[in-house]
A = this chain, B = another copy of it.
């Protein structure tokens, strides 16, 4: 049979990262390529106890169909955290539980995008978002990131010549660059976007993974309640349970709800109930503090090893949160070549090119530290440094 597919699906490739991760799944490989939380920091015992208690107390309800919006006490917990940790005025009606925060991007695409619409993304930007939005065939307008956040002059130019439906960004420990927007940049960005009636889709996957434990005020806080935030329990609870959420003003939430009904009726209710029970019976703040301390140490090991082994013309970020170091190789040195050569020595990094919607970034790479121990970091970074030296003196 001659299947006639949609335009969108024919012009979208499989996720480059997920394909690379298959290659690097070999346990003999030291992998800095992925973005996995450290399994030792997943509280499987706590989750086991929460699941057992819940299924005993209220199993039949937890296993039945439920509402599209999600479990009310879980939504209230999230709203309360916005109020107390971030000083945002949010109530539970503004929260909808999603199948991981990746699904938020699909819902946002459904709610805002017609084919040919434009959207602003960071350059480099989160690949999963670019792939998700691609399903709705927009034009991507890239705005460079510098140390304090998006380049606002570039953004102003973009807004002068086009009328994007939204801007998407990750202000805290951005994936892949690791950049955290400064407070001033957040305020100025909000002002520019509000003036042009462009909502900010604020992906806060790493908001809780700030090594100093301090909450950064969201860009949405400067937008008079008009921000659309997405959040995730993947990094602080369990990625496999796919628990994320959208937080949006009432008018937008009405549309998000329609998109969610059409997508899958509702998110896994058993997992919502287990999570909710876990939050009731465990101190998640203490757990988050442990994760941050462990990731801080790993980032420190990695940075100090890089300082020791890498030549001066290789630059890299000093993470203050998140799970990645962003590496910039000397001009003309390809990170794809480095990836290939290092993989032969059983170390995997992630080339930066797929994060650039408009091309470029050949000399960049993303290096994950959350899922490696001290020995792997010490060994792996030395191997990357040796391989780098080797490919620099060997013609391509």
CB distance from A19 to the nearest CB of B (A): 10
In the complex, what distance in Å separates the CA atom of A18 from the CA atom of B224? Answer: 32
Cβ-based interface call for A144 (8 A): no
* A1 and B223 form a contact (CB under 8 A): yes
Q: Taking each of A66, A115, A262, which has the highest tally of chain B beta carbons within 10 Å of its own beta carbon?
A: A262
Cβ-based interface call for A160 (8 A): no
In the complex, what distance in Å separates the CA atom of A11 from the CA atom of B132? Answer: 22
For A103, the chain B residues whose CB sits under 8 A away are 263-264
In the complex, what distance in Å separates the CA atom of A13 from the CA atom of B117? Answer: 22
Residues A39 and B14 in contact in the complex (CB < 8 Å), given A1-B197, A3-B251, A264-B242: no
For A12, the chain B residues whose CB sits under 8 A away are 258, 262
Q: In the complex, which range does the number of interface residues on chain A fall in?
A: 35 or more
A4 partner, pick from B51, B62, B66, B165, beta carbons under 8 A: B165
* B266 and A197 form a contact (CB under 8 A): no
* B64 and A42 form a contact (CB under 8 A): yes
Number of copies: 2
CB distance from A258 to the nearest CB of B (A): 5
Encoded as 1 (CB less than 8 Å from any B CB) or 0, chain A from 250 to 289 comes to 0110110111011111111111000000000000000000
CB distance from A107 to the nearest CB of B (A): 10
Encoded as 1 (CB less than 8 Å from any B CB) or 0, chain A from 198 to 222 comes to 0100000000000000000000000
Residues A13 and B258 in contact in the complex (CB < 8 Å), given A7-B114, A165-B4: yes
CB distance from A357 to the nearest CB of B (A): 15
In the complex, what distance in Å separates the CA atom of A22 from the CA atom of B261? Answer: 14
Cβ-based interface call for A290 (8 A): no
For A255, the chain B residues whose CB sits under 8 A away are 5, 9
